[in-house]
Every structure is written in C-alpha cells, then in structure tokens.
Structure 1
Amino acid sequence: MSTAVAKPPPGCTLDINDPQIQEAAIRIQASYRGHRSRKELREKGPPKILQPLKDVILLEGSAAKLACRVSAFPDPFIIWSKDGRELKDGPKYRYVFEDPDVVALVVRDGELADLGQYTVSIKNTFGVTSGSACIIVEVPAKIVKGPDNVTVVKGSTVVLKAEISGEPPPDVGWLIDGEDIEEDDRVFYDIRDTTTILTIKNAQRSDAGKYEVFVENNLGMDQSFARMDVL
C-alpha cells in the first residue's frame, strides 16, 4: 500500500536546475569558504593593537567613549583602568564590544574627577598588551560658594574667599562697586586650584562697598557679590 506524499504549498519549491538558484548557491558557498579561511588564517599569539586609543574631551554631565581596534586570537580578556586603578563594568563605566575587533569604554555622567589617563589591558594565553589615552574634562567656570557679607573694624585685616571650579582653569577677577581692584601691598588677591582669596590689610572706611568676584573660561562665566562695611 503506497502512501500519498502531500504537495508543498505554492511558492515553497526550488528548481535546482534554475540558473539563478545555482548562482545563489555558488555565492553562499564562496562566502562561507571565505569566512572559514579568514578564521583559520588568524594566527595564535599575543594581542596586538591595530588602532590605538585617542584622547577625548568629556563635557560635564555628558558621556565620552574611548575605543581601539585590536587583533587577538584566542579571544582576549579586557581590563580598563584609570590612573592605575581598575574600573569595574557598571553604571558609571561601561565595557563595550562593538564588533569582534573593537573594544571601548564609555564614561557616563562626566565630572571633573573623570579627568585622567585611561589604560586598556588586553590579555590572552599568549601574552598581554596595553594602550593609554587621556580624557580631558571641560567644565564651565562656576563659583561654587561666593564670599560672605562682612562688617569689620577700621584697621583690621579682611579676607574675602570664594570657592571656584572650571576646566580649563578660569580667569578670575575682583571688583569693588563695579571697578577693577588695583592690587598693591595692602589690597591683593590670589588664585588657587579651587579658591580665590581677596585680602585687605588695614581696612579703611573707603574700602567699604559692594565686592564682586567673577570667573570665566571658554565654556561660560559666573559671578558673586558680597557687601563689606567698615566701622
């Protein structure tokens, strides 16, 4: 007793004698042979960096990516570090593998503390190689805390202090009642990494007024005011 074979649905048959079908099969075979030969031609050995890391600029509050192209067979183990400290893959630092040959690190929520040298270490059973680049952080000039209002006694020494930030480091200036302060041995100011301090020795009643401190870099400017009264 013979069993009837169901016919395939319309459009689901291939004619192997069709020239177009034969041509497609040849292309598929050639592509597979090429993929297999490329894989087989990969030489076992220590990793190599084909395109090195490059310095990148990170704006405050944004993200930046460091990336390099590598050659490694067997597949390597990747470690990223900043200034010699290993970085763990997580919300702040994200290890990224864009394709078999590109490794990258994404740094999120940029802040001034992210400035530094970053290193990728690429290791397999045959050896290790590494490369480094810097993240340059740019932060608009800002007065984090302005000077306080003060009331002083004539003849005393007065110090007005402001906490500042910015990268590149901002230009800093002090004014009284809208006019630039002319520094001398009695009235002068200095600028440090995170502060600026105005010193007034032997305060006189003529020193009373509205003091302004301002900071400015290529990303922005900020200012703050304080009142000084002399009794």
Structure 2
Amino acid sequence: MVVKEKCSIKFEAIIDGVPEPEITWYKNGAAIETNKKHFKTHRINTNIYYLEISDCGLRDAAEYSVAATNEYGESSSRAMLDVVSASNFDEIAPIFLENLSDTTAAKDDKIVLRAKIKSHPVPKIVWKKDNLPLSLESNRILSIFNGEDLELIITTFTQNDEGFYEVYIENDLGQACSSCKLSEIKGKKPNFVKKLKDTEAKVKSTEKLCCRLEGYPPSEISWLFNGRPIESGLKYTIGKEYGNEILTIHQAGESESGIYECIAENTYGSAKTSANVLFLEKEKERVQFVKKLQDYDVLLDSTAYMTACVVGSPRPDFKW
C-alpha cells in the first residue's frame, strides 16, 4: 500500500475462529501499542478488524502484519506500507477529481462514502451531516485519507445515519466541497422476477429448479412438494446460486413427479411460484433390427456364430 506523508491509511483483515482469537498487530515484527493517537484499532461485524495509522510520516514505512491466535492455532497476514514524501508534490488548491455519490443502505450494512481529491499541502478535512459537524469520536464512523482517496466509513448503518453529507477540504491555497445523500432502503414485499417453469426430465436424473426474487428485507424461503414442506437431505438440496433460489432433486424417480412451490415471505408480505415437474422413463421406442441375421456357409463340425443388433425401449425379449 502507498500513502502520502501526513495522510492516514487503514489495513483491513477478515478473521474467523472458534473460540474467538486474540488479535495482535505488528510493525516490522514488533507488537504495536494500539488505541493511541497515531495507531488505532477497530472491529466491526464480529470478524472485520482494522488498523488505522493517522498522520503518516516517513518513519511509518514498514512491513505490517496481523496475527490471530486461539487454543487451536495461529494465522497471520502481512503487507508493506510505503510513505511518499510531501516534498515530492507541487502546491495546489484542493479539487475534487471524483465527487461523493448518493448511496442507499440496509440496516447493519457497512457504508463507504468515497471521493477522490487532489491537494497539496494536505488539506484540513471536515465532514458534516445535515449541516452539522459530524462526530468521528466513535469507532463506528471513520474518516480515512491516503493522499488521494477520501473515505467516510460507517461500519454498521442505522436509520439515524440517513441524511445529507458534506465534506469540506481546505488548505492555504483554497477550499472545495462535495455532498451526497445517504438513504435507507425502504421495505418491499417479495416479488418473483424469475418464476419456476413446468419441466419434464428423465427418471434417475438430477434436476435443478430455479427462481429469482426481489424484496427487502431479505425473505425467508421455503419449498413445498405437493403441499408438503421440503428439507435438505439425500433427495433434495436447498440453496442459492448467483442470486437465484435453487432446489436440486437428486436421482429422481417417478414418485418425485408433482407440484413444486417456492414461497418467499418478509415483514411486508409474501409471494410464491410453482411448477409441475414430471420425471418419466426413457421415451418408448419400437423394436427394430439395426443389423439383421445374414446367410453364410460353415464347415461341417465347426462353430457357427449368428449375430443381430436390436434397439427398443423398454428392453425387448429375445427368442431364437
């Protein structure tokens, strides 16, 4: 990673473990004393960990690592940080290369309001919400600037975070401002935008039934066969693929033929889609010789072979 001198940077790690691991951050192999003004750690959504370095100096260029340890073992990850000297840049008044964008979010989402700027010296940065200064004292809301990318991170969105956001950047040569609106996604009952289709398949085949829905908050999904609930097991697998709801029927027999339903339900309503699925034996085929018996001569006392090839479904009986 690269950061401009006097700017800030964050390292992010997603760590899972049971029991909960102990987390330690290192700089060039030495443990970092965190939760100070220069080094701060944050944790969100139970398994996302940050190391934030504020007001980076040339001394901060180093290898950084994080180690997670519990009674069952240890895992670590590392990255290099390069700090670019402020003397390498020409003075310029702050400008926005990319402005903040309007954003929608659901409860508990991680939100990043992002802009790209150019400024030297490093600007003073002030965030506002609904025309009032935004408090950044809590670990829940972070402001990060690496010299080019400016981010406001809300680690867990709540309805109180809705509003009009502005960021002001200022140095001795001038100032600039960008703004955006952050809104909560409103509730919507489920609606199947891709429905189940009537299907015919062969006995002993594996068949996937697929549908897709929209709605918020996410729906509880249930599958029915001829009105009876289906659970995942040897015969059925319930899952998702690329945003689709999937029911997989394994090694189906004729007894798996019937009406399949997918029902979606959230706090705003419910919806369902259904299809008739038939599992059939291989299509019947009349008996016919594809290679017939042929006349031929054979010596006395020798062995004679007579060959014929027959097709048909179901398998035909043979009589000589």
TM-score (norm 1): 0.46
Which structure has more relative contact order (CA 8 Å, sep 6+)? It is 1
Structure with bigger strand share is 2
Structure with bigger helix share is 1
